[in-house]
Amino acid sequence: MKFICEKEKILKGINSVINGVSNKTTMPILEGILIQTNTNEVKLTSYDLEIGIEYILDANVTEQGTTVVNAVMFSEIIRKLPNADIQIRINKNNLLEIECEGSLYKLATMNPDEFPELPKINIDNSVKLEQTTLKNMIRKTIFAVSTEENRPIFTGSLFEVVENKLNVVAVDGYRLAIKNKEVEEGNNFSCVIPGKTLNEVNKIISDSFDMITVGIAKNQALFEMENCKIVTRLLDGEFLKYTNAIPQNWETRIKVNKSNIQNCFERILLISASSIEKEKKYPVKINIEVEKVTISCANQTGDAKEEILVDTEGKELEVGFNPRFFLDALKAIDDEEVYIEFGTNRSPCIIRPIEDGDYVYMILPIKMKD
């Protein structure tokens, strides 16, 4: 094996596959990156038996070959080399030599025959959309994915196509986020993709109009772009019937400048953060009156109160919420104004951007202490 490649290109490839490398394994081969050469290109592959990532980069290949090298060591060396062309080759002692200007490093390699093959996926259904669209859909929902392993199905997001509309849904038991987008005509399907995978997809895809295809098989999903593909297992189980969980009516609704209320929550979180670890017991209180909302918090750290002018419809209301859940949604919304809809002090709250009708975020309230 012998090839020359610009540092920027090879580093982009490494950054794309590095998070498919296993960091908790008894199999050293899974801690490596598989490097394979072809005519004028090099393929980098990582696979932790759950997520597999392949990235193809252009290079000047003069000798063919395949090897596996420790991902962390390889990554750190490339990262710290000068911004110049890098020559990579296998020497007669089967060491990987990395040479750039006056630098020369030699790394031990592993047997590429021991590297597991990525699953072969026979696509049953697929959807094609712009990378910037998928990136936006993941960004607006991923924070609502559960981190609790006792309900594995909620550690992923539901991807479903219904009547030419892609719905991405995340829920963790306390909140729910949904983002929709019209897509090209295709078959209806649904699956649950691990949140870990979606985080990696979001790091790799660009904020561009380049296309990405999401393909679904029986128990695997494939994200495929021009020079990169990501395969992942799907989660088994029954996802929440989310359409039944979203209130269709409200008793109190406010219209508010998104930045104003976001700033209020960020400031009040300075006080509430000390005790919000017990988030069910220490909420912030939201008091809705005519044309005014008061957000307050009191605990052993101190007291905080914020007042903000809003457009109010319906009844006055006092209700408690985890402020972090509000902030997560507000940070994900790009509109200048939002509607926040309430039922009673025990029913879910809905946040809707005024312009973006394809996004809904729901939060459950917290019972207030007397």
Query: pLDDT per residue over 353-366, tens digit each?
Result: 998 889 999 999 98
The answer on 185 and 110 residing in a single domain is: no
Measured from the Cβ of residue 18, the count of other Cβ atoms closer than 10 Å reads: 19
Model pLDDT for residues 175-215, shown as the tens digit of each residue: 999 999 999 877 899 999 999 999 999 999 988 899 999 99
Q: To which residue do tokens 């809905």 refer?
A: 350
Global model pTM greater than 0.85: yes
**234 touches 220 (CB < 8 A):** yes
Q: How far is CA 291 from CA 20, 309, 311, 348, in A?
A: 51, 6, 5, 21
Sign of the alpha-carbon torsion through 174, 147, 178, 285: positive
Is 369 among the domain residues? no
3-state secondary structure of 183: coil
CATH number of the CATH domain containing 213: 3.10.150.10
**Residue 370: pLDDT band by 50, 70, 90 thresholds?**
low
Last residue of a domain, which of 114, 134, 158?
114
CA distance 236 to 253: 38
The answer on 25 and 105 residing in a single domain is: yes
Decide if pLDDT at 293 tops 70.
yes
Model pLDDT for residues 16-40, shown as the tens digit of each residue: 999 899 888 789 999 999 999 999 9
Is 119 among the domain residues? no
The answer on 97 and 169 residing in a single domain is: no
Please state the rounded mean pLDDT for residues 99-110. Answer: 96
The answer on 67 and 131 residing in a single domain is: no
**Residue 61: pLDDT band by 50, 70, 90 thresholds?**
very high
Name the percent of the chain lying above pLDDT 70: 97
The answer on 225 and 180 residing in a single domain is: yes
Last residue of a domain, which of 216, 244, 272?
244
Alpha-carbon Rg for the chain, nearest whole angstrom, is 25
Please state the rounded mean pLDDT for residues 226-242. Answer: 94
The answer on 354 and 283 residing in a single domain is: yes
pLDDT for res 280: 42
Last residue of a domain, which of 84, 114, 144?
114
Measured from the Cβ of residue 116, the count of other Cβ atoms closer than 10 Å reads: 14
Q: To which residue do tokens 């990525």 refer?
A: 118
- Closest listed residue to residue 49, CA positions, set 21, 74, 68, 12: 21
**33 touches 71 (CB < 8 A):** yes
Please state the rounded mean pLDDT for residues 329-333. Answer: 95
The answer on 57 and 8 residing in a single domain is: yes
**Residue 302: pLDDT band by 50, 70, 90 thresholds?**
confident
Please state the rounded mean pLDDT for residues 282-290. Answer: 90
pLDDT for res 274: 61
pLDDT for res 206: 87
Which domain does 20 fall in, by range? 2-114
The answer on 279 and 358 residing in a single domain is: yes
- Closest listed residue to residue 281, CA positions, set 367, 348, 365: 367
pLDDT for res 279: 45
Domain count, the chain: 3
